[in-house]
Structure 1
Amino acid sequence: MTALQQEQSFNAISQPGEFTELDRFMFESWGYLIIPDVLTADRSKACLDASIRLHEKAGTSGWAQVGRGFESEQVLDDLIDHPAVLPKIRALYGDRFILQSAWCTKQPAFGGVGGWHQDGSGAYDFKQLGYPIPLLQLRASYLLTDQSLPGMGNMEMIPGSHRAQAPLPADIRRDKSDLPIGHVVCATAGSVLLFHNAVWHRTYKHDHDYDRYTAHYIYSPPWVRFSDRFANDKAYLARTTPVRRYLAGEFERPDAPFGAGYPTAFED
């Protein structure tokens, strides 16, 4: 078996749509799933073009991310409740959750590795909430450029690290060191990486002469504050669908912020 075949065989591969019993076992064991070929080549290219427009409009340089692109780019709005991914999010959260943020991320050509980290809030470390760290940010990452081989700006994950009671050593984090248990996720453009906020991960190196783009959609319980916006754009709310308005957090809340009575927009 070649190194590439070994890499491709070491994947928590799921299928679009239903969250199966095997999906749950893999997600609970590793903290992430890979859903290949969610977007067609044409749709993936359209989302890539939209992401490039967002970064050009924002005037970004180097590694950068631009939020709330769904408000101005229809193809990115269509990813919010994509039928290949939404059933898995509902299976993990139930029917009451919001889109906390959406980021179009660019890694520049010939970009180096990023730093190891867990997702969370800079204001409050999620590990202070308890063990295991709860699922507060479920990330669906749409790969918009090919990452089918290592060295293409892939995500590198540490499988099962969302359950680790020991911290990642400080020197590993400081030096951005490689790890023998790191898993470089290899998948084609249009695939989705779905992962738990507590999985240790980083951006892997990018050895090619074009920028790498990924569209990240982060889903949270309904009481979590937005992280890519202070409020939703009114024009966007007027033209989008009822389900997406709900996921944007625009619904009538109960009397108490943590009380019962949160509505749901989903009908089965």
Structure 2
Amino acid sequence: MLDPVVEPGELTELDRFIFESWGYFIIPDVLNQDEIRSVLEASQRLHSGHKGVFQQVGNGFEREPSIERLLDHPAVLPKVRGLYQSDNVIVQAAWCTLQPAHGKTGGWHQDGSSAFDFRQLGYPIPLLQLRVSYLLTDQTRPGMGNLELIPGSHRSRVPLPEHVRTEHAETPISHIVCAPAGSALVFHNAVWHRAYEHNEDYDRYTMHFVYSPPWMRYADRFENTEAFLARTTPVRRGLMGDLSKPDAAYAGGYHTPPYLP
């Protein structure tokens, strides 16, 4: 099986070509064992009391320091900035997802807004939600709650057939991403994807961060709390979309977050 694996850090020309061709790539070994354990334990706290169904919890970075540290992870953030070709991006959402033990395969979908289909904006569907998914449990073989994607589908002029979506059917060109815990999967909002079946006796956890242009509305919160903005770093405040201008936010330009060189 071909795997679009790239090295951590700066976005290279080959990285960009892989992303434009497939719509996603995998960065291995982003988190070490201590980081995996810490973020996994934080995720389990966020989902305490779950009832054995698929669920997601947003805005966990305000409560869990180990999740907050992933906002600007040095192995990943340069890829985000490179793919957008801009420093003016925000974290639109941060979803911690749980697929329960023996969970079934989910439905095919593209990411976007249920309020407005991104497909209406034009072809190709623009990059408005770049998702970075940190694997917190092992997914080295199929049937471990992997993400299944259709390579290159972000460029398709036609949608996935309705019967494939409604019947959760297989396709001959899908790719079940197999990678160990600590890997990061980076993918375009328009790639058709779904959660694959999870046949293990433990719950599967993945920490997703969605990076967007600064004018996108938050998806996992209504606003950032003042307490969090006051205690976090300048870079993370920038990623929250914290603007210093008291007037119209974008009329006179946007204050670029203070990234390190």
Shared fold (TM-score, shorter chain, > 0.5) = yes
Q: Secondary structure at the match of 2:134?
A: strand
Q: 1:66 aligns with which of 50, 57, 68?
A: 57
Q: 2:237 aligns with which of 235, 245, 250?
A: 245
1:253, CA displacement in angstroms? Answer: 4.3
- Within 1, Cα distance between the matches of 2:71 and 2:3? 24
Which residue of structure 1 lines up, in the alignment, with residue 128 of structure 2? 136
Per-residue CA deviation, residues 23-82 of structure 1 (Å, 9 max, x unaligned), is 00000000001000100011111100000001116x454100000000010000000000
Which residue of structure 2 lines up, in the alignment, with residue 34 of structure 1? 26
Structure 1, gaps ≥5 residues long: 1-6
Pick which of 243-252 and 115-124 moved more: 243-252
Q: Tell me the amino acid that sits aligned with residue 127 of structure 1.
A: R
Normalised by the size of structure 1, how large is the TM-score? Answer: 0.94
Whether the 8 Å contact between 2:243 and 2:249 is mirrored in structure 1 is no
Q: 1:99 aligns with which of 91, 95, 101?
A: 91
Please tell me whether residue 115 in structure 1 is matched to residue 107 in structure 2.
yes
Which residue of structure 2 lines up, in the alignment, with residue 78 of structure 1? 69
Whether the 8 Å contact between 1:254 and 1:262 is mirrored in structure 2 is no
Per-residue CA deviation, residues 172-191 of structure 1 (Å, 9 max, x unaligned), is 00000011000000000000
- Within 1, Cα distance between the matches of 2:249 and 2:162? 38
Q: 1:13 aligns with which of 5, 10, 16?
A: 5
- Within 2, Cα distance between the matches of 1:214 and 1:45? 12
Given the superposition, is the C-alpha separation of residues 125 and 208 from structure 1 closer, same or farther in structure 2, using an over 3 Å criterion?
Answer: same
Map 1:176-191; keep pairs closer than 5 Å.
176-191=168-183
Per-residue CA deviation, residues 184-240 of structure 1 (Å, 9 max, x unaligned), is 000000000000000000000101010000000000000000000001122211111
Q: Secondary structure at the match of 2:47?
A: helix
Q: 1:203 aligns with which of 182, 195, 202?
A: 195
Cα RMSD (Å): 1.2
Q: 1:149 aligns with which of 141, 152, 156?
A: 141
Q: Tell me the amino acid that sits aligned with residue 71 of structure 1.
A: E
**Percentage of identical aligned residues:** 61
Given the superposition, is the C-alpha separation of residues 152 and 243 from structure 1 closer, same or farther in structure 2, using an over 3 Å criterion?
Answer: same
Pick which of 256-265 and 116-125 moved more: 256-265
- Within 2, Cα distance between the matches of 1:172 and 1:134? 24
Q: Tell me the amino acid that sits aligned with residue 51 of structure 1.
A: S
Structure 2, gaps ≥5 residues long: none
- Within 1, Cα distance between the matches of 2:165 and 2:212? 26
Please tell me whether residue 223 in structure 1 is matched to residue 215 in structure 2.
yes
- Within 1, Cα distance between the matches of 2:9 and 2:42? 25
4+ runs of 1 displaced by more than 2 Å? 252-260
Whether the 8 Å contact between 1:142 and 1:193 is mirrored in structure 2 is yes
Q: Tell me the amino acid that sits aligned with residue 239 of structure 1.
A: R
- Within 2, Cα distance between the matches of 1:156 and 1:189? 16
